Amino acid sequence: MIAIVDYGMGNLGSISNMLKVLNLKSIVTNDRKIIRDSDHIILPGVGSFDKGMSKLNQSGLSELLKELAQNKEIPITGICLGMQLMTKGSEEGNLPGLGLVNATTKHFSKLSYNFQQRIPHMGWNQVELAKRDNYICKGLPEPLKFYFVHSFYVQCELTTDVLMSTYYSDKFTSAFHTSNITGFQFHPEKSHKYGLSLFKNLMLSDHAKY
């Protein structure tokens, strides 16, 4: 069973529908026992960093996610804001993030010295694979495109954690992967065949369980 974490901020229905297409059972929940007993955890999110962290902290879900991430037994995937909440913190707010990955979240204006692109970064954009041999990336259709909506980006401290990158005035990390932790800045659930192929690799690969 895949647990889609419901903390009041996220595109939960679309994610659930995509999993149904792949014949995968999922449940939208904030029940800590159900989340703990799941086979895979998805942390979605749309909105501001501090509001998201406040809701996770108040519900006790932040401590649970940290514990499960440390145990490395259950894969945890963050989408959009969910990916950013996995970092140490964000320029958007003051609260510390979950710290599941060695990364911070920065405003797009910091991406390059002469940043002139529109903010937010919205719409389809091409994604480059940084780790083609990773099970999540194998066999994905190229050129690979995903749908984005965000004003902040994740900067990984270790290049080895970068799974995919995207160019928007300059290159930024559009997906990271380390151990049982994966983050996607784009929305797979809004990315049609590309999202389906990605989720198929992520959820159904022989390597998808830890």
Catalytic residue among 80, 121, 150, 156: 80
Residue 107 annotated in active site:
no
Catalytic residue among 91, 128, 189, 207: 189
Residue 80 annotated in active site:
yes
| Residue 16 backbone phi and psi in degrees, to 5 | -60, -40
Catalytic residue among 40, 121, 177, 187: 187
- Please count the other Cβ atoms lying within 10 Å of the Cβ belonging to residue 143: 8
Residue 187 annotated in active site:
yes
Q: What SS3 state is found at 32?
A: helix
Exposed e or buried b per residue across 2-33, where buried means at least 16 C-beta atoms within 10 angstroms of its C-beta: bbbbbbebbbbeebbebbeeeebebeebbeee
Closest CA to 166 of 175, 157, 158: 175
Using an 8 Å Cβ cutoff, are 180 and 73 in contact? yes
Closest CA to 186 of 116, 194, 115: 194
Catalytic positions, written as ranges: 80, 187, 189
